[in-house]
Amino acid sequence: MSRAAGLVGPGADVAPEDVLRARCYRLLARFLSSPPTADELAAAARLTGDDSDLGRAVAAFARVCSRASAASVAEEYHELFIGLTRGELVPYGSYYLTGFLHEKPLAKLRQDMARLGIERAENVSEPEDHIASLLEAMAGLVDGTLGRVLPLEEQKAFYAAHIGSWAPVFFRDLEAAKASVLYAALAGVGRAFLAIEEGAFAMV
């Protein structure tokens, strides 16, 4: 998916809380799509949070980032998601929902993405229901960087079908995974954030 983000950015008609939502989605997507660079780790180490659940999770994540090296995180990422034969976790919606890759949930996602006019980047061969692609898509739908800001009702439907249906379980698994250190802290951020999203979507 396009990383030309930031062009529409916090301007125009996007409410400040939606800018923050998109950032949160993007932060999670960034760390889950591939291991962070040293610069990204350093940037994440500077994040701060207040006394809310999400704030505490962000602060804890920043703390872990400040102690981690890019090399050790790359190793952790490999163990979690890639592995020698298979990583500890399989971060695809279809797998979580059906036990198999490339199943119906992926077909449904492709339909929805086609309807919304978003498609995976040409050089990507991975299925679209990877957790990072879904979170990145959501970010773009929230702040309009994928073309237009999606109305809340439709955001809610996309979230419920493709993220809410399995990502909270995935984050719980990630938090508990054996190889998980920095990613356990990231999972804490993910869980706290998705809980807020769910609470907010319930009001739509």
Instruction: Identify which of residues 21 and 109 has a Cβ nearer to another protein in the complex.
Output: 21
Decide: is 186 part of the binding site for another protein (CB under 8 A). no
CB of residue 162 vs another protein: minimum separation in angstroms?
Answer: 20
- Site stretch for another protein (CB under 8 A), options 68-76, 101-109, 121-129, 188-196: 188-196
CB of residue 65 vs another protein: minimum separation in angstroms?
Answer: 10
Q: In sequence order, what are the residues at sequence separation of 6 or more whose Cβ sits closer than 8 angstroms to the Cβ of residue 15?
A: none
CA distance 86 to 143: 35
Question: x/- binding map, residues 112-151, to another protein, per CB under 8 A?
Answer: ----------------------------------------
CB of residue 83 vs another protein: minimum separation in angstroms?
Answer: 26
Contacts by 18-24, CB closer than 8 A, 24 or more apart: 18/142, 18/143, 18/149, 19/143, 21/139, 21/142, 21/143, 21/197, 22/139, 22/140, 22/142, 22/143, 22/145, 23/139, 24/54, 24/189, 24/193
Question: x/- binding map, residues 46-75, to another protein, per CB under 8 A?
Answer: xxxxxxxxxxx-xx---x--x---------
CA separation, residue 87 to residues 29, 84, 105, 117 (Å): 18, 7, 21, 32
CA separation, residue 66 to residues 30, 59, 73, 157, 184 (Å): 17, 11, 12, 37, 15
CB of residue 127 vs another protein: minimum separation in angstroms?
Answer: 24
Q: Binders of another protein among 70-99, rule CB under 8 A?
A: none
How many CB atoms within 10 Å of residue 201? Answer: 16
Instruction: Identify which of residues 145 and 180 has a Cβ nearer to another protein in the complex.
Output: 145
Q: Where do contacts with another protein occur on this chain (CB under 8 A)?
A: 5-6, 15, 17, 20-28, 30, 40, 43-44, 46-56, 58-59, 63, 66, 152, 189, 193, 196, 199-200, 203-204
